[in-house]
Amino acid sequence: MPLDPSTVGFQTKPFVFEYSFQQTVLYALGVGATRDELDFLYEGRGPRVLPSFAVVPSYAPATTLFEQTGCDLLKLLHLGQVVRLHRPLPAAARLETVGVVKGIYDMKKLAQVVLETRTTEHGEPLFDTEWTLLLRDSGGFGGPRPPKADVPKAAPGQAPSFVTTLPTSPEQALLYRLSGDLNPLHADPDFAARAGFSEGPILHGLCTFGVMTRALVRNLGGDERKIAAIGAQFRKPVWPGDPIRTEGYDLGNGRFALEAFAADRPEPVITSAWAEVYP
């Protein structure tokens, strides 16, 4: 089924997502958390919940929107992700999430699809997410160009405020997918090869996003509750087992610019990343 621009504005029914500490701990392990981050891994300490966990209750509505637009999974590239939190995530909750197709944009050979979700607990806003997807060989349909993003950036020559390298395991994608992102690109070597990755399954962009979030949390004194929003653009593939180096730039007024690198490769795998934090 070809990409359908007429689906812009389509809204899902509310999706209910109930979770307990098992889901938040599984997610933390999926993005590489270790025993020195025990607050996120042990129910005896809550547990605390990484802000990037917000993508997990959003998978089902985002997938429904993805299918509604006619996206081809083999052509899909996850370009960007934003999470905005209205308050810290509870250790257990019953949530309702509604998704909407925000935009479908023409980039000549490529198409860009933007999906949004809004999640509430007991009717009160908890967090919002935005998913930006690229589809290869799907442009040229005469649609509008995507709007330009205005994201915080480090000044030329500015030294990073922190540099944190965190490992991933060769099984990281297989563990992360148990939180709900079951795209075979991250598990099946044959599917990965058909999608253009002859080296094998790649790590989920959202797993790298979670590792970057952990790095930011470490440099906020371990207090994830300081994060109000975090966003990123995914530029290069990461393979399970690659260590991920996050560089953070304090821009003042509670704003950070972020970049992430994988293994010893010089080009960043995440760019145009940013965070808003409370004092």
Could you list the active site residues? Answer: 181, 186
Question: Can you read off the two tokens belonging to residue 145?
Answer: 């160009």
For 12, the token pair is: 């899902």
Instruction: Report the amino acid identity of residue 191.
Output: F
240 closest CA partner among 191, 189, 274: 189
- Do 77 and 134 form a contact (C-beta atoms < 8 A)? yes
**Complete edge-to-edge strand list for the sheet that includes strand 124-135:** 15-19, 93-107, 110-121, 124-135, 76-85, 227-234, 270-277, 255-262, 244-252, 162-166
Structure tokens given for 149: 């993003």
**How crowded is residue 150: how many other Cβ atoms within 10 Å of its Cβ?**
6
Q: Where are the beta strands (DSSP E) in 108-238?
A: 110-121, 124-135, 162-166, 227-234
Reference 111, options 77, 79, 147, 135; nearest CA is 135
Q: Which one-letter DSSP state was computed for residue 148?
A: P
CA-CA-CA-CA dihedral for 251, 275, 136, 66, to nearest 10: -160
